[in-house]
Amino acid sequence: MESLLEPAPDAAWVLAAKGYDPVREGIYEARFSISNGFLGVRGARAVSHGSRWSEPVRTYVAGLFDISGPDHPLPALITAAGWLRVQIIPTDELLAHHPVEAISHDTTLDMRRGMLLTGARLAGPSVAVRARTLRLVSLCERAIGLHVVELQVEEGETEVTLEASFEGLGLGLVPEKVEHDLGVWRTRYSGKRLAMAAATSLQIDGSDIVPARPRPFAWSWHWKTHPGQTIHLVRLIAAARSDTRHADPRQIAWGKLRDAQRLGWRKVVEQHEAAWSERWQCSDICIGGDPAAQQALRFAVYQLNSAVNPADERVSIGARGLTGEDYHGHVFWDTEIYLLPFYTLTWPEAARALLMYRFWTIDGARAKAAAMGWRGAMYAWESADTGAETTPDRVVVPDGRIVDVLCGKLEQHITADVAYAVWQYWEAARDEQFLLDAGAEILLETGRFWSSRAQPEPDGNCHIRGVIGPDEYHEQIDDNAFTNVMARWNIRRALDVAALLRERWPDHWANLSSRLGLVDAELAQWRTDAETMATGRDPRTGLFEQFAGFFDLEDIDLAAFSGRSVPMDVVLGQERIQRTQVIKQADVLALLGLLPEEFPGDSATANVRYYEPRCSHGSSLSGAMHGLVAARLGCSDLALRYFQQAVAIDLADTHTAIAGGLHMAALGGSWMVAVLGFAGLSLHGEGIAFNPKLPASWQSLGFVIQWRGRRLKIEIDSAGQCLLAKLQAGNAMTLSVNGRQHELRRDQAAVCPL
């Protein structure tokens, strides 16, 4: 057991915190979360507030949504029962009267093995105990959680009671049947059910001790301590979710628990570690010369691998994953734009599942479009489990005012963002079954939406009026460049997929077009709409006007506000900021990040020079997109600065907002800066291209990607001015490096000069 409770020796693979700071408790709980895409567990400390040593921990189950009541119909992710509670209670006094009375406390996230380890020394007047814990949620069998506690008595002989229990058994859920080791709960309104089963054992100096059972999901042991005594507590849990009240998840949870018990907890650990080893082989990223960047990217990749469950197509990844409750577990455009690139290129099965979530919720998107008077599918700005719009109509802001929230109605670019992710996956994976089963329908129905949304006007152009772009400081705007150009791109890809189906799968096209009521006349109209879409691009300067009238707004020098501690909309106020060119986050530059081909010649540089100084970065999504754009243009110092800002959001203790959960988009965006930016990876035509531009402090950059059934290992060496490519799996292919073609075969590595 000694080695299992010790973290990886390489500092690049661990994230550690020493001591205890109650002010930062929420930050640490988010940062040290563990998850497997089905179960998420907050990283609460082994020593917490109160008079006993305990581990109060929030647990989340993907897809477990419910509303708070008929008058508040917006669904939120429900907290499941916490299963890590442990109390040590000496008979004559409390072991620790306050957290700071712990003589030492360490928390370590072992990213290589996907587990959280803690250590603490607790002392009272008559006894001192050193405690170590291990917790994980299995990446091999996602229903399973494991908690191991080791206690070593250093001093004292006294009677103690140890109790292991679940907490919050009725928090947000209605109990149906709760027995000693097996419980079933249901949501109040959404018709979902959750089952949890548990088994707990305790050994003292190698001998099993039979527990008392004071109540369901509670185990209690009482004994007398002596110096040198060693206590081992092992707890296994299994959880199962069903999405209807008729399906019974009890047998699933009970069966998974029994399987884990037959394996034994050490084998559970072994299989979990093997699953993580496989993930790291497919997704690790190595940086030479910058240890801080290395650790930050490992953390990002660890959290991205933890956030998704390829076996469940009915759930996606919320803005905070399964690490906190901000945004109620809702799914935004973050998933498609900032996370899907990582999954598409390192874990295609996960990317497919996330895109299938959008297919299974397409009826909600169709209903939203129809309710607003348009055709096709218009995806929800905030989505939960059904695809219905879950954005609140109004919220209470910190100063107590009630303000209207227009994003759910007007931030419509989400529809093109979903289509973008579908097409990128198709380009990278060539998954024909996905295209036929789901992808084509998403592209066609989103293309249909944009054709109905963009209206022709007397000037001969199609206009999209009354929207919000990525820059949410400006509302009810016309012809947002990001929205319009992405809409045009979406329509053109819908036409491409229609032509592809007609040519390669004519029977499927006949069935699908008939079911959707698609006729040639409508496709012809789409083509006209795309060709006449207003974009706001000045062909003389190459500048895109962010939206109609943007260039006429007040220009404010943001450098004068560099010392501010609050966002610019707070500094200037909601009304004034809409009359200025101050931008919340990447908007035109987000378009440059996604569709660089829309910026020929020097227009990319011209747009960066104009918009970068005007962005206040009031969103966690902004820094990474700016970094990606800057890296591709060779502005490596600027790109590195934005990369560092992006990773600092979740790793610097100055960002208290992470108490509500990690910023998944910033984590995915940091990977994008490294691989799509500094390495210059792009997908085009029938191959992959690289145009590397590493920061001066990065000696090398290595990573693994998957493309059309192949696995490639890439290493960029700054000193040797070369890119080394190895084809680890799949058929021979052609690689483009700085515009030169290189043949890549399994039997030899390709050395590509830079």
- Pair type for strands 39-41 and 34-35: antiparallel
pLDDT at 92 over 70: no
pLDDT at 584 over 80: yes
- Pair type for strands 733-737 and 687-690: parallel
Domain boundary (281, 296, 319) is at 281
* pLDDT-derived band at 603, boundaries 50, 70, 90: very high
pLDDT for the residue numbered 103: 59
Domain boundary (220, 253, 281) is at 281
pLDDT tens sequence across 273-297: 999 999 999 999 999 999 999 999 9
Residues 265 and 293 both lie in one domain:
no
Residues 98 and 236 both lie in one domain:
yes
**Average pLDDT, stretch 714-719?**
96
pLDDT for the residue numbered 63: 97
pLDDT for the residue numbered 685: 74
pLDDT for the residue numbered 102: 57
pLDDT for the residue numbered 656: 60
Record the tokens describing residue 462, joined without a space. Answer: 């199609």
Residues 194 and 298 both lie in one domain:
no
In a domain, 717, yes or no: yes
Residue 77, CB half-sphere, CA atoms under 13 Å: how many?
A: 32
Percent of the chain with pLDDT over 70: 95
pLDDT for the residue numbered 4: 82
pLDDT tens sequence across 627-652: 999 999 999 999 999 999 999 999 99
Residues 215 and 293 both lie in one domain:
no
* Residue-number span of the structural domain to which 67 is assigned: 21-281
pLDDT for the residue numbered 197: 98
pLDDT for the residue numbered 51: 41
Of 101 and 125, which is predicted with more confidence? Answer: 125
pLDDT at 506 over 80: yes
Residue 349: active-site member? no
Are 233 and 164 in contact by the 8 Å Cβ rule? The answer is yes
Amino acid, single-letter form, for residue 249: P
* pLDDT-derived band at 71, boundaries 50, 70, 90: confident
**What does the alpha-carbon distance between residue 214 and residue 623 come to, in Å, rounded to a whole number?**
52
Q: Which CATH number is 702's domain given?
A: 2.60.420.10
Amino acid, single-letter form, for residue 414: I
pLDDT at 269 over 90: yes
Task: Enumerate the β-bridge partners of residue 61.
Answer: 39
Q: Which CATH number is 190's domain given?
A: 2.70.98.40
In a domain, 458, yes or no: no
Of 57 and 523, which is predicted with more confidence? Answer: 523
pLDDT at 46 over 60: no
pLDDT for the residue numbered 401: 76
Question: How many domains are contained in the chain?
Answer: 2
Cα 539 to chain centroid, rounded: 38
In a domain, 386, yes or no: no
pLDDT for the residue numbered 69: 85
Q: Which residue has the tokens 């360490």?
A: 106
Report the chain's mean pLDDT, rounded to a whole number.
93
Residues 171 and 211 both lie in one domain:
yes
How many CB atoms lie under 10 A from the CB of residue 279?
Answer: 20
**Average pLDDT, stretch 454-470?**
98
Lowest mean pLDDT among 132-136, 384-388, 597-601, 747-751: 747-751
Q: Which residues of 256-267 are buried (b: 16+ CB within 10 A; e: fewer)?
A: bbeebeebebee
Global pTM value:
0.96
pLDDT for the residue numbered 95: 47
Domain boundary (281, 299, 319) is at 281
Record the tokens describing residue 548, joined without a space. Answer: 């109609």
Residues 167 and 249 both lie in one domain:
yes
Residues 250 and 316 both lie in one domain:
no
**Average pLDDT, stretch 115-126?**
85
pLDDT for the residue numbered 56: 59
In a domain, 432, yes or no: no
In a domain, 72, yes or no: yes
Residues 175 and 293 both lie in one domain:
no
pLDDT for the residue numbered 221: 95
pLDDT tens sequence across 153-183: 998 888 888 999 998 887 789 999 999 999 9
3-state secondary structure of 652: coil
In a domain, 366, yes or no: no
Residues 160 and 172 both lie in one domain:
yes
Residues 216 and 311 both lie in one domain:
no
pLDDT at 327 over 60: yes
**Average pLDDT, stretch 209-235?**
95
In a domain, 506, yes or no: no
For 449, 487, 544, the CA distances from 529, given in Å and listed in that order, are 12, 10, 19
In a domain, 226, yes or no: yes
**What does the alpha-carbon distance between residue 343 and residue 469 come to, in Å, rounded to a whole number?**
25
Q: Residues 6 or more apart from 602 whose CB is under 8 A from it?
A: 542
**What does the alpha-carbon distance between residue 140 and residue 148 come to, in Å, rounded to a whole number?**
18
Residues 93 and 234 both lie in one domain:
yes
Q: Which of 24, 20, 52, 40 is nearest to 119 (CA)?
A: 20
pLDDT tens sequence across 646-688: 999 999 976 667 899 999 999 999 999 999 999 999 998 778 9
**What does the alpha-carbon distance between residue 464 and residue 548 come to, in Å, rounded to a whole number?**
11
* pLDDT-derived band at 48, boundaries 50, 70, 90: very low
pLDDT for the residue numbered 99: 39
Q: Which residue has the tokens 């062909």?
A: 539
**What does the alpha-carbon distance between residue 103 and residue 434 come to, in Å, rounded to a whole number?**
56
Of 6 and 694, which is predicted with more confidence? Answer: 694
Helix (H) or strand (E) holding 278: helix 265-283
Q: Which of 472, 545, 598, 715 is catalytic?
A: 472
Residues 249 and 288 both lie in one domain:
no
**Average pLDDT, stretch 250-254?**
96
